[in-house]
Structure 1
Amino acid sequence: MFGLTFDKLLLIGVIAVFVLGPERLPYYAAQLGRLVRSLKEMADGAKDRLRDEMGPEFDEVDWKKLDPRQYDPRRIIREALTDAPEPPVIKPPTHKRPVESAAERRRQLADSGTPAPFDAEAT
């Protein structure tokens, strides 16, 4: 429940004894018990009201299927991307340009005497 282990609950109890003191601790423990009991009654009331309003279909609903913790965003994105329509086919240009390597381009620039391209805003 909320990631609380027995060790953490014991530590919270010890801190409560020091902060509240032994005189006020029983009163606040009783208040906490009443709060938990009223929250449980409210949850049960909401469940009963939902069952009354939905009728017999309430018992047929698979509640585990609607649990948001079961959803994996990576799986959802993967499924969405695989179900996407096929992208349009882009035809390559009909004219062919000669392929030159970066080394050839550097040699051509060095031979022509033009300075290398420079971007003043580049980091």
Structure 2
Amino acid sequence: MFGINGSELIILAILAVVILGPERLPEYAAQLARFVKQLKTMAAGAKEQLREEVGDDIVDMDWRKLDPRQYDPRRIIKEALLDDDDAPRPAPAAPAVAAAAATAAGSAISTGSRAPGRPASKPAVQLAAGEPAPFDSEAT
């Protein structure tokens, strides 16, 4: 409690008796008790209000998972690198299939055809020698 051990608490009690005197000590002790009761009531009210607004999920939440002191970047990276993915990875394509796909893509580009679902783009315009490139004032 507040980092005070037993011997320090006894010393503080003796100092309170000496400073306040036996006449005013019961009065201050009663005020302290009322203050502690008010703090407990306020804390219980805040907890109940939070539970009403957020729901009962807040009760089951593991707050230790959200503690920023537990995050060690080295450990996180190590776990990410050593983590076994359960998702199947696509098999690498055979060289003949990859070459056929490249040839088909090259012929589609050279013939000017476009992929289905893609909008047609403007054909490339060849500039004459020494002709400046067009300027677009809206380009970034």
TM-score of Structure 1 vs Structure 2, range by shorter chain:
0.5 to 0.7
- 1:79 is displaced (CA, Å) by 4.8
Segments of 5+ residues of structure 1 without an aligned counterpart are 84-123
Per the alignment, residue 35 of structure 1 pairs with: 35
Residue in 1 aligned with 2:6? Answer: 6
> Which residue of structure 1 aligns with residue 55 of structure 2?
55
Task: Report what 2:16 is aligned to.
Answer: 16
Report the CA distance shift for 1:16/1:55 in structure 2 as closer, same or farther (over 3 A): same
Runs (4 or more) in structure 1 with deviation over 6 Å come to 80-83
Matches of 1:15 and 1:77 in 2, distance apart?
A: 49
Q: Aligned residue for 1:76?
A: 72
**1:92-103 correspondence runs (5 A):** none
SS in 2 for 1:16: helix
With the length of structure 2 as denominator, give the TM-score of the two structures.
0.48
Matched AA of 2:48 = D
Kindly name which structure, 1 or 2, has the bigger radius of gyration based on alpha carbons. 2
Residue 67 of structure 1: how far off its partner (Å): 4.7
Q: Larger relative contact order (C-alpha < 8 A, sep ≥ 6)?
A: 1
How many Å separate the matches in 2 of 1:41 and 1:18?
Answer: 32
Q: Tell me: CA distance 1:81–1:62, structure 2 relative to 1, closer, same or farther (3 Å).
A: closer
Q: Where does the alignment leave 5 or more consecutive residues of structure 2 unmatched?
A: 80-140
The number of residues matched between the two structures is 79
